[in-house]
Amino acid sequence: MSAIRTVARKELRDAASSRWLLGFAATFAVMALALSLAQGGGGDSRDGFTRTTAGLVNLCLLLVPLLALVLGAGALAGERERGTLASLMAQPITSTELLVGKFVGLTLAVWAAVALGFGSAGLAIALLHPVAAVGEYLQFVLLAAGLAMTMLSVGILVSVCSDGRMKAIGMALVLWFFFVLFYPLAAIGLALALSTSGETLLVAVLANPVEGARILAIVGLEPDLRVLGPLGAYLVNELGLPATTALLLTALAAWTAAPLALANGLFARQDY
Amino acid sequence: MVVMLDVAAVGKRYGDTQALEAVSVAVAPGEVLALVGANGAGKSTLIKCVAGLVRHAGAVHVGGIDVARRPKQARRLIGYLPQQPALHAELSVRETALFYADLKGVPHDRARAGVEAVGLGEYADRPAGALSGGMRQRLALAIALLADPPLLVLDEPSAGLDIAARLELRRLVHEQRARGTAVLLSTHWLEDVPYIADRVLVLDHGRMQSLGSASEFEALAAPTSRLYLRLNGRGPEAVPLIRELLPEHAVEYAGDWLVVTCAAARKAGVVEAVVEAGIAILDLRVEELAAGTAPPGPGGMAL
């Protein structure tokens, strides 16, 4: 455990001085603040939080995966490129401890950045209105934290499979484009065009953690079939709200554990 | 024999290249084994196998622990100095030492003392990325020595070092040997070998070419060097020292230069003797001559 803690602490320290992360935190905070001020001005206090949270969903689904994928992708590929991986692995540490230490440190760093963004927005709304609907807001913060872990895990798998940092980051950007931009537009359309069977729709939801997180966020806020989209509407209709929530949370957990486990297996078999 | 390092039939293949083939050797506590060979002979690959950094055929045991099966426990016994020390550029010298101390489970006080011991105390706040090559080497050495490991694995430790630093390295290896540390080191500097090692393993294209004592190696290798020294008029003081060290070798003057022709393995000893006598070397040139050639004289005046 002490090796994991040491590596995680160093990752956190590096992240704190990283322009990438600070830039992200500042951008997220400014945009979240702008959203909360723009949308939280009217209506009752519950509406203020709910509307702001709904606005933050899109912002979060766009930015959190980008940050987490890129940070994860640079984690081990960067060490390998600089030659520091061999120096680290020559110490009393296992490949699993190094990988988990990196994951934990980066997770805490992304959480800190996300917390800054959501914290700013939450504070702004709380100042404008008496506090209400905070539960939904916190639920969404937790969901963003979970999505960050998932995308970090995928990013670390990319990192293990890449022999250079830029190659890893390039691959991470391709994945981000696929998961966040291409998938909701083209991939789901293609899946629906090919087949509208329940199995196809289910696979289409589970194959993309970002889509799963989007549906979870909307389900948590306001399970309106019009805003859930075809996949979310299908799930809620077929399974009901509690089962849909449980299924998507399980999928998100599996999307976190599986890439990390695969990365661990591959990393242990590599030369350093 | 008590064995600290046991390498048994170790082989390593990179794609189509057999980098190492059936290498077997053992190192006892307090023994220094030098790995020599041309570039690509497999020295660094063997060292990486010992440090558990690459997967390989055969087995490596350190202190009886299988490096492949229990790498973490085995690495607790190893201090490793890579050929080109790579450090986290953004960490300061002190932070680097403390980070590695935490990984090794060593108290911070010892890490700070280690930084002082390698002469980097005044640079403790400087980022590792801003250190010169020699300073990085020293910091990496401090890290390798942090936990007083019973096995020291040094990959080309004298590469890029100036003469004083090479002499310092020799002293360090002697100290470690005296403390009972087993040392495995690779080197290009054949002349260092008799001074630094007890035994020598010669690798050629990944295969063991010979394994024997350092004196056997010296006799076998024995290429000749011609050493040109400018001593700022203090040649007459140096000549008796060199004659005492190398009674059978030629010492001549050529203009301002004092010219010593000797076995290549002995020339570092000449420099060491001169420096230790407090005679400043203003300039130094070395000509390497093939083994067994009768070197033509430098055209100077025999003493």
Task: Please name the residue of chain A whose CA is at the shortest distance from the CA of residue B153.
Answer: A90
Q: What is the DSSP letter of A164?
A: S
Residues 6+ positions from A118 with CB-CB distance below 8 Å: A32, A56, A137, A140, A141, A144
| pLDDT for res B228 | 92
State which residues form the domain around A85: 2-268
When divided into structural domains, chain A yields a total of 1
Residue B249: how many other CB atoms lie within 10 Å: 17
**Which of B73, B80, B87 has the CB atom closest to A90's CB atom?**
B80
Residue A92, SS3 per DSSP: coil
CB B11 within 8 A of CB B58: yes
Strand B65-66 and strand B78-81: the pairing is unpaired
Does the beta carbon of B163 lie under 8 angstroms from any beta carbon of chain A? no
Cβ pair B265, B245 in contact under 8 A:
no
State whether residue B220 sits within 8 Å of chain A by CB: no
At residue B301, the pLDDT reads: 35
Give exposure, B192-209, as e/b (b: 16+ Cβ within 10 Å): bbbbbbbbbbbbeebbbe
| Local confidence pLDDT in tens for the 272 residues of chain A | 689 999 999 999 988 887 778 888 888 778 877 777 776 555 554 555 566 667 778 888 888 999 999 999 999 999 999 999 999 999 999 999 999 999 999 999 999 988 887 777 777 767 766 555 677 778 888 899 999 999 999 999 999 999 889 999 999 999 999 999 888 777 667 766 776 677 777 888 888 999 899 888 888 776 665 666 777 777 888 888 889 899 999 999 999 999 999 999 999 999 99
Task: List CB contacts of B99: < 8 A, sequence separation 6 or more.
Answer: A6, A10, B88, B91
Task: Judge: A3–B48 Cβ closer than 8 Å, yes or no.
Answer: no
Helix (H, G, I), strand (E, B), or coil: what is residue A130?
coil
Residue of B nearest to A271 (CA): B54
Closest CA to A202 of A240, A149, A247, A164: A247
Using an 8 Å Cβ cutoff, are B179 and B171 in contact?
Answer: no
By C-alpha distance, the chain B residue nearest A98 is B103
β-sheet bridge partners, residue A265:
none
Residue B296, pLDDT score: 36
Q: In this complex, is the C-beta atom of B205 within 8 Å of any C-beta atom belonging to chain A?
A: no
Residues in chain B, pLDDT under 70: 1, 219-223, 289-303
Residue B61, min C-alpha distance to chain A (Å): 15
| Cβ pair B177, B32 in contact under 8 A | yes
Q: Which residue of A has its CA nearest to B53?
A: A272
Choose, out of A87, A100, A163, the residue to mutate when testing the contact with B (most B CBs < 10 Å): A87
Q: How far apart are CA A172 and CA A151, in angstroms?
A: 10
Cα three-residue angle B187-B193-B197, rounded to 5 degrees: 100
Q: Does B46 touch chain A (CB under 8 A)?
A: no
What is the per-residue pLDDT for A49? 54
**B212-221 long-range CB contacts below 8 Å, 24 or more apart?**
B214/B34, B217/B36, B217/B193, B218/B193, B218/B194, B218/B263, B218/B265, B221/B190, B221/B193, B221/B264, B221/B265, B221/B291
- Chain B CB contacts of A91 below 8 Å: 75, 100, 103-104
Hey, is the C-beta of B194 within 8 angstroms of any chain A C-beta?
A: no
Chain B partners within 8 Å of A97 (Cβ): 72
B50: closest chain A residue by CA: A90
Looking up tokens 């988990």 gives A100
Question: Do the Cβ atoms of A272 and B53 come within 8 Å?
Answer: yes
Distance from CA of A109 to the nearest CA of B (A): 17
CA distance to partner chain B, nearest, from residue A74 (Å): 14
Residue B272 token pair: 């060491």
The residue of chain B with its CA nearest to that of A88 is: B100
Q: What is the pLDDT of residue A183?
A: 83
Contact call for B104 and A91, based on CB within 8 A: yes
What stretches of chain A show up as alpha helix (H) in DSSP?
A: 2-16, 19-39, 45-82, 84-89, 95-128, 134-161, 165-176, 188-194, 198-206, 209-221, 225-239, 241-268
Say if the Cβ atoms of A90 and B84 lie within 8 Å. no
Q: Do B104 and A92 touch (CB under 8 A)?
A: yes
Fold of B5-220: Rossmann fold (3.40.50)
Answer yes or no: CATH 3.60.20.40 is held by domain B223-302. no
- In three-state secondary structure terms, A93 is coil
Residue intervals in chain B for CATH 3.30.70.980: 223-302
User: What pLDDT sits at residue A210?
Assistant: 93
Instruction: Please judge whether A86 and B100 are an interchain contact, meaning their C-beta atoms are less than 8 angstroms apart.
Output: no
Supply the pLDDT for residue B288: 74
- Residue B68 contacts residue A271 (beta carbons within 8 Å): no
Name which of B54, B76, B99 is nearest A271 (Cβ-Cβ): B54
The CA-based angle A240-A243-A245, given to 5 degrees, is: 100
A25 to chain B nearest CA, in Å?
A: 21
Partner-chain contact A87 B82, CB within 8 Å: yes
Sheet holding B17-27, edge to edge: B17-27, B5-14, B57-62, B65-66
Query: Is B105–A17 a contact, with Cβ atoms under 8 angstroms apart?
Result: no
B150: contact with A, CB 8 A cutoff: no
Q: What is the ipTM of this complex?
A: 0.83
Q: Which chain B residue shows the shortest CA-CA distance from A10?
A: B99
B68 contacts in A (CB within 8 Å)?
none
With a CB cutoff of 8 Å and minimum separation 6, the contacts of B178 are B30
- φ, ψ at B28 (rounded to 5°): -90, 160
Q: Which residues of B touch A82 (CB under 8 A)?
A: 86, 88-89
Out of B53, B72, B90, whose CB is closest to A86? B53
Of A84, A89, A93, the CB nearest to B88: A84
Distance between first and last Cα of chain B? 49
Angle between helices A241-268 and A209-221 (to 10 degrees): 150
